[in-house]
Amino acid sequence: MELRHLRYFVTVAEELNFTRAARRIGIEQPPLSQQIRQLEQEVGAGLFLRLPRGVALTDAGASFLQDAREILERVRLATEHAQRVASGNLGRLRVGMINSAPFHPFVPRVIREFGQHYPEVVLSLEENTTPILAQAAREGTVDAAFLRPLLGEAADLVIETLFDEEMVVALPDGHRLTRLRLLPLAALAQESFVLFPRPVGSGLYDEIISACRRAGFSPHIGHEVRQVTSIANLVAADLGVSLVPASMQQVLSTGVVYRPIEGDAPKARMSLAYRKDDPSAAVRNLIALAHQVLRQMSLQQPKAQARRSRGRA
């Protein structure tokens, strides 16, 4: 029994006339009659009473009609469901992010707009370190992840660079260097640093160390914390200074003073990682939306800068 047999049967049951049903389906009347007889043989019961003019449903036919309509409706819904999942409009998307990502306006905006554009996609978020998120993407436990640069190559992943963020110096409130509006990195040569361990974010860690060495010194790391967001707390406790992405300034303001870096400064790169072999439609939609938000934000930046210039004037 094939679905077309059910469709033919339902059409004949609605028209109660083989000629009209054949015309509606788009086939000749004799083949339609033959298909219905084959269906009756397979069911093992007569579904129609043949009358001088038209047909009538038997009791078995009336029962079969109800079930046939339910089956066809379920097939229609299943087809529609599959098509919506294939287009990325339905399903689930698991997104990972480093714990500093939500503080930059880009990532929350992408997540918010994805929910608005694809309200029937269940979005789950996981916060972790860059290496753990990269491994989760490889294993398929997350579909995409906002993370910092990885150590070495990742042949099984696509790593798309989204933007490079300025970094700033975090100083304890009252520190002698807070009197400066701009800080060259060389001014930190004698300071004790608070940083995260290299395995937590090797790309950003190496960027910070390289920038300090270009400034003429190797930083003395007095304290390490696994969560980048905890750095501000240790700086506020006067346990050292640090270099953090500019967006982290909103994490903690009490006890911490932030200063822009003068001259050669490291950058905090944000990337989007996903599997190379089979990105889902939902992931492709996330990628496209991320690119769209980047374009919109790049257009908004000159306008914001112009407004600030007019305000200073």
Q: Among the listed ranges 150-159, 263-272, 292-301, which one has the minimum average pLDDT value?
A: 150-159
**Tens digits of per-residue pLDDT, 227-256?**
887 899 999 999 999 999 999 888 766 899
**Which numeric CATH code is attached to 3-86?**
1.10.10.10
Answer yes or no: is pLDDT of 310 > 70: no
**Tens digits of per-residue pLDDT, 49-83?**
999 888 999 999 999 999 999 999 999 888 888 88
**Which numeric CATH code is attached to 164-268?**
3.40.190.10
Please tell me the distance from the alpha carbon of residue 312 to that of residue 17, in angstroms, as a whole number: 83
Residues 6+ apart with CB under 8 A from 31: 22
Cβ contact 152:134 at 8 Å: no
Could you tell me the pLDDT band of residue 301, with boundaries at 50, 70 and 90?
low
- The pTM assigned to this predicted structure is 0.74
Distances (CA, A) of 164 to 195, 199, 227, 265, 306: 19, 20, 20, 12, 21
Better-predicted residue by pLDDT, 218 or 280: 218
Pairing of strands 121-127, 256-262: unpaired
Superfamily designation of domain 91-162+270-312: Periplasmic binding protein-like II (3.40.190.10)
Q: Where in the chain is the domain with CATH 1.10.10.10?
A: 3-86
Label residues 288-310 b or e (16+ Cβ within 10 Å = b).
ebbeebeeeeeeeeeeeeeeeee
pLDDT at 2: 86
Q: Where in the chain is the domain with CATH 3.40.190.10?
A: 91-162+270-312, 164-268
Mean pLDDT of the 120-124 span: 92
Supply φ then ψ for residue 238, to 5 degrees.
Answer: 65, 35
Mean pLDDT of the 142-150 span: 90
- Angle at CA of residue 215, ends 241 and 233, nearest 5°: 10
